[in-house]
Amino acid sequence: MRLRSIFTTVLGAALLAVSVSTPASAASGRFFYDYVTVEGYDATGFLTNPADDECINLPGVGQENPEPGHTPRNRTDTWATVFTGTNCEGDSFRLRPHTGGASQRLKVRSVVFG
């Protein structure tokens, strides 16, 4: 009888730990973008399983880099809205889930999913 109680307690604690450690809502997949580094090299940045409803400034193309990112490709399962400025400001463009993408002409510095 006591062994069953201990097992139930341990199982409950394990399930609680798993449910607390997983994000409440996140896009599944990757979001890609190309950019030129401050040193002048071509690079590809990406976000893996980004959080929903949270503005994300894209690494490598923030205010420290005068060149914005370009050619965004949304391979997540959620709509992505890209912005020309940091902090999800400026002009925006929506990219559909899984296959959404844009040409090199679309300049980006931040994105929000959802």
- Backbone φ and ψ of 55, nearest 5°: -70, 130
The alpha carbon of 67 is separated from its chain's Cα centroid by a whole number of angstroms, namely: 20
The pLDDT score that the predictor gives to residue 25 is 79
**pLDDT by residue (tens digit) across 22-80?**
445 799 999 999 999 999 999 999 999 999 999 999 999 987 899 999 999 999 999 99
The fold of 29-113 is Gamma-B Crystallin; domain 1 (2.60.20)
In the chain, where the domains are located: 29-113
